[in-house]
Structure 1
Amino acid sequence: MVSFFQILFIICLTRTVITTFHSNENLVAVVQLFRHGHRTPVTFYTNDPYSDKIYWGGLGEGQLTGEGKRQQYRLGQFTRERYGGWLPQKYDKSIFYARTTDVERTHMSALSNLYGLYPATTDDIWHPFSDWHPIPVHTADPKVFNTFPSFSCKSYYIERSNYLARNESLAINEKYTKLYRYISQNSGENVTSLREVHNVYDCLAAEHSIGLPLPKWAKHIYPQPLSDLDALYFDSFSHTVKLQRLGTGTLLFEILKYFDDMTRDPTSSQKFQMFSGHDYNIAGVLNSLGAFNPPRSVPFASSIYFELRKNRNNTYYVNAWFKEQSKLKGIRIKGCEIDCPLDEVKHRLSKILIDVKTLDLECQENSQFISTVAKEFYDAFNEEFNSKSKSDKQKKI
């Protein structure tokens, strides 16, 4: 039986951890990355019973929903609570800077998040019935932070094609042949790879999370094993060091360069920087940090916080945290301790870090396909990007 004093000790210890965890006395700078909030499916599968806009309040494909806005608003409130006292209540452009990919749902997610983080106070209130006020959100450099790497980075897509053509990747498709056939028969899609599985899973996840009853056939495979397969799909974007370097290396380079600058002069930049992005961005960064094993699906409004802190002996270290839903967990960067020295972080990520100028050069390096299967994967990527580009142009006309 647990004694009263043991219970008291546990309570005191828990309180101590929470107090230390929320202490911002030694905090110098923070970078936050998050996935946008809940959205409508980007593409509906053929037999999807919820493909009509009536189920989505008239919203089109890939649009942020009311629930997505609420998720981001709550995330902004969490950030405010976590960094309260360190991050001023009033927005100041010299202290805070927000970036987003050039996609509507990430722009809207950032704005919803900022409402939770910076509700209007005193002289910021401009409307008698609202505490919302506009805060700038900037479009990020696509070579640093983008939905996916541009197809102009040929080396990235050759590397990904080679990874998909390896035996370990092909074995996944062979292992789940029966499952693919089951999904194909019921979804109306021709499912032969993780990509097609993702398209079906994405619909089911978006629909289930807002309470829409899933078809009976889907209940046998959702959330598992579809969730695990979806995680493997996102792992394929950043499974190798080269994919991480060409996919997320510039973002991590910019973050650590920013931290370096802040150690020399804490007034050289804003002390809080925010990036509003996608599941690809979160999964890629986690993989690059060695924190995506085993792979897992990235829920809507998931967030990574990088914190630069200063010790009493004037040395700097980094804390990294991953928040998904109500859970917040520390990240051991490439196996480093939670309080990882800044120089050690740079050392452990050195093979991944890359600046934009070097990225441009490495993207055009001559790379070889390991097999004809790899070349077929690459040609499929090329066809997909050409089709998307043509579709985007038609929408603008």
Structure 2
Amino acid sequence: MYTLGKRLRQDYSHFLSESYIEDEVYVRSSDTVRCKASAQLVLAGLFPPVGHQIWNPDLPWQPIPISYVPRQEDNLLSLEKPCHALGEALKRFLSSDQMTNHTIVHEKLYKYLSLHTGQDINDVFLVHKLYDTLKIEKHHNLELPPWTKHLPWDTMYEIAALKLFIYTIATDTQKFSGGVLLKDIIDKFSDRSINGSSLKLIIYSAHDSTLVPALQSLGFGKIFIPDYGAHLAFELHKINETHEIRVLFAENFNSSLTLLPLSFCPSPCTLSKFEEQLRSREILPTDWDRECLN
């Protein structure tokens, strides 16, 4: 993630101030240790101290504040704030014929996982959690249990990836997941374009379950599990007195950002059209708390 911060510094050096300026940077993290640590690493690579900010010549680092709220109260970066409407929509989908058939097809795998883990592995959420754990252990060259040698890893991947897409599989759930983040970005861009906000950079440090719903809400239909450090970048450009938005995506912290085509808003996509199109598709919440009660 430190490497990602250095890459962002290189990519946006023409726009960002050389030194960290509080009014120009806002960082919001999910209230988890790994997300806050990731944000700190990105900031360390992005804003090494320069000039009067160098307080220790042996340490090219400076403290930069990170904002967060408890996960049970966070509907922006975490999907753990209670939402009745989202919960009911998920129940309907999980009990649908599609998911019932999915469970039947993978019943043998679920039984195998349950037998060897000692847990009742019977849905995509638990498969995702197990897959994620094994993936991390494998990434760190830890020895996996012998029973994992017989796992159908491709099938495990597909089931685990499906868990990330459940939150946006229907339009009426997108406003409670990916739509919340998109609305926050639009609001901050609007403040910049209308009121001349001094903000130049907003960083959100969150989860694959934050990134995937945002991508889905933008029309990115591929079902996948994001790699470590995968990230979206939203750019606001002022061209001939018109504010345009560009969306870019990088597959991991080592990848370069590439333009993400928006089928609903071909380039040049103005900020107003971007918001208008997302609202017409009912992806942006108007009053999240009230709509969650319905």
TM-score by length of 1: 0.68
- The AA in structure 2 aligned to 1:132 is W
Matches of 1:219 and 1:340 in 2, distance apart?
48
Question: Does the 8 A contact of 2:192 with 2:199 survive in 1?
Answer: no
Task: Report the secondary structure of 1:99's partner residue.
Answer: strand
Match of 1:300 in 2: 228
Contact in 1 for aligned 2:178/2:215 (Cα 8 Å): no
Instruction: For 2:261, give the aligned amino acid.
Output: R
| Structure-1 residue corresponding to 2:47 | 118
- In structure 2, the partner of 1:321 is 248
Q: In the alignment, residue 138 of structure 1 is paired with which amino acid?
A: S
Shift of 1:335: 4.1
Q: Aligned equivalents of 1:205 and 1:217: distance in 2?
A: 15
Given that residues 310 and 317 in structure 1 are in contact (C-alpha distance below 8 angstroms), is that contact kept between their aligned partners in structure 2? yes
**Which amino acid in structure 2 is aligned with residue 113 of structure 1?**
V
Larger radius of gyration: 1
Letter in 2 for 1:111: Q
Give the match for residue 388 of structure 1: none
Instruction: Provide Cα deviations, 1:60-80, integer angstroms capped at 9, x if missing partner.
Output: xxxxxxxxxxxx111111111
By how many angstroms is 1:91 displaced? 0.2
Give the counterpart letter for 1:97 in structure 2. Answer: Y
What is the aligned length?
Answer: 288
Take 1:334 and 1:162, find their aligned partners in 2: how far apart are those partners? 29
Aligned counterpart for 2:159 among listed residues 212, 222, 229? 229
What is the distance in 1 between the residues matched to 2:234 and 2:18?
Answer: 20
Computed over aligned residues only, the root mean square deviation of the Cα atoms, in angstroms, reads 1.9
**Contiguous gaps of at least 5 residues in structure 1:** 1-71, 366-397
User: Do structure 1's residue 354 and structure 2's residue 281 form an aligned pair?
Assistant: no
Helix, strand or coil for the counterpart of 1:258? Answer: helix
Ranges in structure 2 where 5+ consecutive residues have no aligned partner: none
Say whether residues 1:309 and 2:237 are aligned partners: yes
1:8-19 counterparts in 2 under 5 A?
none
Counterparts in 2 of 1:183 and 1:346: CA distance versus 1, 3 Å? same
Partner amino acid for 2:8? T
Measured against aligned partners, the alpha-carbon deviations of 1:65-123 in whole angstroms (never above 9, x if no partner) come to: xxxxxxx1111111111111211120001211111122222222111110011111221
Deviations 1:369-393 (A, max 9, x none): xxxxxxxxxxxxxxxxxxxxxxxxx
Structural mapping, 1:1-397, within 5 Å: 72-139=1-68, 142-151=73-82, 153-221=83-151, 223-265=153-195, 267-291=196-220, 293-311=221-239, 313-325=240-252, 326-327=254-255, 328-350=257-279, 351-355=282-286, 358-365=287-294
Distance (whole Å) between structure 2 residues aligned to residue 168 and residue 349 of structure 1: 27
Deviation at 1:297, TM superposition (A): 0.6
- Structure with more relative contact order (C-alpha pairs < 8 Å, separation 6 or more): 1
CA distance in 1, matches of 2:57, 2:27: 27
SS in 2 for 1:236: helix
Change (3 A) 1:205 1:89: same
Aligned position for 1:61? none
Quote the Cα distance in structure 1 between the aligned partners of 2:283 and 2:263: 12
**Aligned sequence identity (%):** 28
Deviations 1:345-386 (A, max 9, x none): 11221111124xx11111111xxxxxxxxxxxxxxxxxxxxx
Question: What TM-score do you get using the length of structure 2 for normalisation?
Answer: 0.91
Q: Which whole-Å CA distance do the structure 1 matches of 2:261 and 2:149 have between them? A: 35
| Residue identity in the other structure for 1:258 | K
Counterparts of 1:169 and 1:258 in 2: how far apart (Å)?
38
Q: Report deviation, 1:222.
A: 5.8
| Alpha-carbon separation, structure 1, partners of 2:180 and 2:122 | 33
Matched residue of 1:131: which SS? coil
Q: Is the 8 A contact 1:155 1:364 kept in 2?
A: yes
SS of the residue corresponding to residue 167 of structure 2 reads coil
